[in-house]
A and B are shown apart, each in its own frame.
Chain A
Amino acid sequence: MGQGAQIEVIDAILYGTKRFFEGVQDLAVFSVRMLAAVFRRPHYWRDIYEQTYFAGVGSLPVVLVSSFFAGQALALQFARQLRETGSESVLGTMMAIAVVRALGPDLTGMVVAARLASGYTAEIGSMKSTDQIDALTAFGTDPVSKLAAPRLIGIVIMLPLLTFIANTVQFLGGALMARFVAHVSLSLYWTQIREEMVFGTVLIGTVKPLTFAFIMAFVACWKGFASSGGTRGVGQATTESVVIASVLILIFDFILTRVIFALLHW
């Protein structure tokens, strides 16, 4: 590689690094603005209701379907492995740990991120490209309070609830496999699940969806407000929004698990 090419590569790396840190800074500043808007008057109750409904009821069908099949697939995998050591009887325990601590929050987070992060960014981005956000400002309305804060509230309320429903449906899917594939007694299966609902497991299962909800709302609204360049720009911002939210969800999934394990001395 010639010296000129090396300089180009270094320039590209420096430019990419600079853009990355600028992006992190912008996201952090915007997140603080969103949080402040949640606690500042006026509160747009109609928008909060609509966004909560959209996040919760709107996401329910896709969460139910994906969770039912994911629960069955997971139980099937466990049943197959446990049969080799004659340990099918612990299927309920394995399901409880895997679903509540990992699969439930992660699957729900990813499915809801695909739906809501893209929706939020596209809607806010198209409002920006058609001057509707400037129009709000011209009428004395803070666009962050009007558009971003209700979405944050809606998803923070609904994602933990959706995750709870998703966990239950995954257990039901698993119960089918326990009964008809692993031939485990259903009363044993449900007893093991109930016994595994200890503080640490419930803590992980609660903290994760809450964190994922903040990540989704921050990233999606920030990308919407920061979009530029008309229809193409909105499309690009929407794609980036889903990708960034999904990657951050997976990164924070690991970090949260590690931190909570450390706190509980597990």
Chain B
Amino acid sequence: MKAKQRPLSPFMIGPYYRPQLNSIMSITHRATGVFLSVVSAPLLLWWISAVSNGPETYAAFLVFMGGWIGELTLLGCLFSLSFHSLNGVRHLIWDTGRALDLRSADVLGWVVLAGTVVSTAILMGLLL
């Protein structure tokens, strides 16, 4: 028996919906989460292993982090960490049932974006 063709819910990113702050931030939350999982967490493991391994391994780690690939990686980590942490708190506020109306969601969204830029810039400045 052929399944009846039911209407499908349109995917929120694509030609069906106008791009909006909340949907873009939602997918960015996931993307930064994946980046933190597959890049930043292994970087933390590398640092811990280098500390335990001895001065030579640690020096090699510092040389990598001082190069342009290391600095670019660090920038990615600090941006992802700032965005994911701030937007994560936004999600936690929503989970308490607060700020769920469109206006509050948008205002908090812009606060998170501004906070991400400021936090990334400050942390990058401090660590370089």
Physical interaction between A and B: no
B residues contacting A by CB (< 8 A) are: none
